[in-house]
Amino acid sequence: MSKLFSPISLGPLQLKNRIAIAPMCQYSAREGAATDWHTIHLGHLALSGAGLLFLEATAVEPEGRISPDDLGLWSDATERALGEVLGAVRRHSAMPIAIQLAHAGRKASTRVPWEGGQSIPSTQPRGWKTVAPSALPYAAHDETPQALERAGMERIRDAFAAAARRADRLGIDAIEVHAAHGYLLHQFLSPLSNRRDDEYGGALPNRLRFPLEVFDAVRAAFDAGKPVGVRVSATDWVEGGWDVEQTTAFARELKQRGCDFIDVSSGGLSPLQKIALGPAYQVPFAARIKADAGMPTIAVGLITEAQQAQDIIASGQADMVALARGILYDPRWPWHAAAQLGAQVDAPPQYWRSQPHELKNLFSGNTMVR
């Protein structure tokens, strides 16, 4: 049996294979509410044969959005809109669906990527004042964020918990807390962005404190029978910043609190980062955390080929792989990987006739919907 297509459990959640679709921002919501675009986008990815589908970074409060067009889950209106999208997807796919809950912190209030992605000052239309652990902007030309006081931190922690309860009501199968890519929780973790002099800054245990409080709040608010994991940046790629040793310490603390998986990425905190790009360039971070912290890991980063993904799993470097840009380019990547590796994938009966004659057993034909 192909290791990539072998079953796996993330805590209590049973998955049919080890391919995940990573969270990918679509910048297509209206005041945080999902739209028809999300139905189309998620619908076709849910027919891909992957084992797990992550929804994009979903803001827990309006000020936590990366852009004004980000998806959110902070109100009855945003919950209802997302529920309508999920209902349509689930009528035609049984793929488990997870959500990534996020707050952008000082990297909020920006234009969408196809409009340049620059920050929008709070004085301009659609902009707002951002928050951060310390009054340090992401880039020198950005507006200085407001340093969070304890009341603001408690509000954001409670917003994460409230979003987790909404996700539970929507029947979401798993939650990933976003503590990577330079967003708010990562900003608390890194000494480059956290210059606080209270119990939430300075030494590593202090910098871990708020992200761990948020994780605890989400874990307590979500169904105990469903997994909660965390997305991390294993390194800032900047000297003196957050690194894999600190990430491993964070993972160990999370494991003690019932974290079910770690999704291992890197970078995003500083424009000074110097990333050594290459095929599977982030996989060694996942392998290190898996070995040192003993937690199930998801590897990401320029994983593009079926045999490459198979080797990552077979060698024990990670427990799953997550695809992002690659599966946007090829939404049937799991089908093609299964064909190459001699495995099977679920496919809707409307597509059964598409399999090549030499691949009579490619589709398993499981079309159960919820």
**Over the Cα atoms of the chain, what is R_g?**
20
Distance CA(139)–CA(25), nearest Å, equals: 21
Residue 108 DSSP symbol: -
Contact indicator for 335, 323 with CB cutoff of 8 Å: no
Q: What is the pLDDT of residue 367?
A: 46
357 pLDDT band (50/70/90 cuts)?
Answer: confident
Q: How many CA within 13 A on the CB side of residue 141?
A: 5
What homologous superfamily is domain 8-354 in, according to CATH?
A: Aldolase class I (3.20.20.70)
Closest CA to 181 of 292, 70, 327, 66: 66
Q: What is the pLDDT of residue 356?
A: 86
138, 183, 200, 351: the active-site residue: 183
204, pLDDT greater than 50: yes
Q: Give residue-wise pLDDT tens across range 115-147.
A: 999 999 999 999 999 999 999 999 999 999 999
Q: What is the mean pLDDT of residues 238-243?
A: 98
Q: What is the pLDDT of residue 1?
A: 80
> Exposure pattern of 275-296 as b/e (b: 16+ CB <10 Å)?
eeeeebebbebbbbbbeebebb
290, pLDDT greater than 90: yes
365 pLDDT band (50/70/90 cuts)?
Answer: low
370 pLDDT band (50/70/90 cuts)?
Answer: very low
Closest CA to 147 of 194, 202, 179: 194
Tell me the three state secondary structure of residue 323. strand
Give the torsion through C-alpha atoms of 322, 272, 153, 289, to 10 deg. 40
Closest CA to 227 of 3, 14, 4: 14
Q: What is the mean pLDDT of residues 142-169?
A: 98
360, pLDDT greater than 90: no
**Distance, first Cα to last Cα, the chain:** 28
Q: What is the pLDDT of residue 355?
A: 87
Q: What is the mean pLDDT of residues 226-246?
A: 98
- Tokens found for residue 142: 């950005």
Q: What is the mean pLDDT of residues 98-123?
A: 97
Closest CA to 137 of 98, 175, 108: 108
Tell me the three state secondary structure of residue 151. helix
79, pLDDT greater than 70: yes
Whole-number average pLDDT of the chain? 96
Q: Where are the domains of the chain?
A: 8-354
Q: Which runs of E-coded beta strand occur in the chain?
A: 8-10, 13-15, 19-21, 52-59, 97-102, 131-132, 146-147, 174-179, 228-233, 261-265, 297-299, 320-323
| Residue carrying structure tokens 């990430």 | 247
369, pLDDT greater than 60: no
Residue type, 39: T
Distance CA(298)–CA(243), nearest Å, equals: 18
Distance CA(60)–CA(48), nearest Å, equals: 28
| Residue carrying structure tokens 């796996």 | 8
Contact indicator for 237, 267 with CB cutoff of 8 Å: yes
Q: What is the mean pLDDT of residues 33-55?
A: 98
Q: What is the mean pLDDT of residues 333-347?
A: 95
Q: Give residue-wise pLDDT tens across range 256-283.
A: 999 999 999 999 999 999 998 999 999 9
Q: What percent of the chain has pLDDT over 70?
A: 98
Contact indicator for 64, 108 with CB cutoff of 8 Å: yes
- Provide CB contacts within 8 A for 166, sequence distance 6+: 73, 78, 79
- Provide CB contacts within 8 A for 35, sequence distance 6+: 28, 29, 81
- Tokens found for residue 134: 């310390």
Contact indicator for 302, 280 with CB cutoff of 8 Å: yes
368 pLDDT band (50/70/90 cuts)?
Answer: very low
**Annotation marks residue 351 as catalytic:** no
173 pLDDT band (50/70/90 cuts)?
Answer: very high
